[in-house]
Amino acid sequence: MMANETAKLEEQLQRWGEVLVVGDQVLKWDKPHYPAAIVGAVSTVFLFIYWVDPSFLTGFSCLLLLLCVTDLLVPTLISRIFGTNKWTTEQQQRFHELCRQLVLARQALRGWICRLLELRDGRPKVYLLSALIGLLSTAWIGYKIHNLLLTYLVVSTLLLLPGMKHHNIVGKTISIVRQKVSKVMPSKETKKE
């Protein structure tokens, strides 16, 4: 089933193959200057949005227009620049792995949604309490921090996250936090002694 979904996704994204492989290299920080380039590009876009200060409808329409033009022009330009004869087996393997990771991410999202629905049906009070705490916290953060700054921070984090995971920065950070928490909150075994 996994191989079938991956093959179907590869077929759907084939015309974006070159772009996705390059994007994957940038997002996984194959070169040391890529994190700075990501933050610089995101900062430039958000500074432009801040400077123009479009209304929501104008901004949304411009975003959709940009996506439509990009969807039509980029694959055509990339195929003319790179050509189909320059597609190597290494790039094909990287494209296959990227599609496999996207399928895994989609399955993980489905799993989270299923667990959430099971929690809602099985333990509605826990579900309601969790939803209230999570959504009220999010609303409070949204009230305290400007929308554009919050969006900038979220977009920057999401774009830097694949590189942080690839270079195991996330794992190292989580282990450091766990060590600090275990020092502050001793385990049940040490309490019994």
Smallest Cα–Cα separation from 8: which of 100, 77, 137, 90?
100
- pTM for the predicted model, two decimal places: 0.76
Q: Is 53 left (phi over 0), alpha (psi -120 to 50) or beta?
A: left
User: Are 35 and 29 spatial neighbours (Cβ–Cβ below 8 Å)?
Assistant: yes
How confident is residue 16, by pLDDT bands cut at 50, 70 and 90? confident
Q: What is the pLDDT of residues 92-145, one digit of tens each?
A: 898 899 999 999 999 999 999 999 999 999 999 999 999 999 999 999 998 999
Please determine, for residue 164, whether its predicted confidence score (pLDDT) is greater than 70.
Answer: yes
Sequence letter at residue 41: A
Q: Quote the pLDDT of residue 84.
A: 58
Task: Compute the distance between CA of residue 164 and CA of residue 3 in angstroms, rounded to an integer.
Answer: 27
Please determine, for residue 193, whether its predicted confidence score (pLDDT) is greater than 70.
Answer: no
Q: Quote the pLDDT of residue 192.
A: 54
Long-range CB contacts (within 8 A, 24+) of 61-70: none
Q: What is the dihedral of CA 1, 113, 42, 12, to 10 degrees?
A: 30
Sequence letter at residue 158: L
- Average model confidence (pLDDT) for the chain? 88
Q: Quote the pLDDT of residue 72.
A: 85
Please determine, for residue 156, whether its predicted confidence score (pLDDT) is greater than 80.
Answer: yes
